[in-house]
Amino acid sequence: MKQFIILLIFLSSCGYPVVGPQGPSGPIGNTGPTGSTGASGSSCSVTSSASGATITCPDGSTSTINNVSAVQFCPQAGATNYPSNFPEYGLVVGNIIYAVYWGTTSTSGGQKTSFLAQIVPGTYVSTGNITCTFTVHSDGSIS
pLDDT level of residue 8 (50, 70, 90 thresholds): very low
Q: Which has the higher per-residue pLDDT, 69 or 18?
A: 69
Residue 6 has pLDDT above 70, yes or no: no
Task: Give per-residue pLDDT as tens, 100-122.
Answer: 888 888 888 888 888 889 999 99
pLDDT confidence of residue 133: 86
The H-or-E segment that residue 7 falls in is: helix 2-12
In which domain, by residue range, is 131 found?
67-136
Q: Are 77 and 130 in contact (CB under 8 A)?
A: yes
Q: Which has the higher per-residue pLDDT, 129 or 111?
A: 111
The count of structural domains within the chain is: 1
User: Which runs of E-coded beta strand occur in 15-112?
Assistant: 45-49, 52-56, 62-66, 68-72, 89-93, 96-103
d(C-alpha 138, C-alpha 143), whole Å: 12
Tell me whether residue 82 is in a domain.
yes
Q: Which of 141, 87, 143, 91 is nearest to 117 (CA)?
A: 91
Residue 55 has pLDDT above 70, yes or no: yes
Tell me whether residue 15 is in a domain.
no
Tell me whether residue 121 is in a domain.
yes
pLDDT confidence of residue 11: 47
Say if pTM beats, i.e. exceeds, 0.85: no
* Sheet of strand 45-49, all strands in order from the earlier edge strand to the far edge: 45-49, 52-56, 62-66
Residue 35, Cβ neighbours under 10 Å: how many?
6
61-76: average pLDDT: 85
d(C-alpha 44, C-alpha 19), whole Å: 58
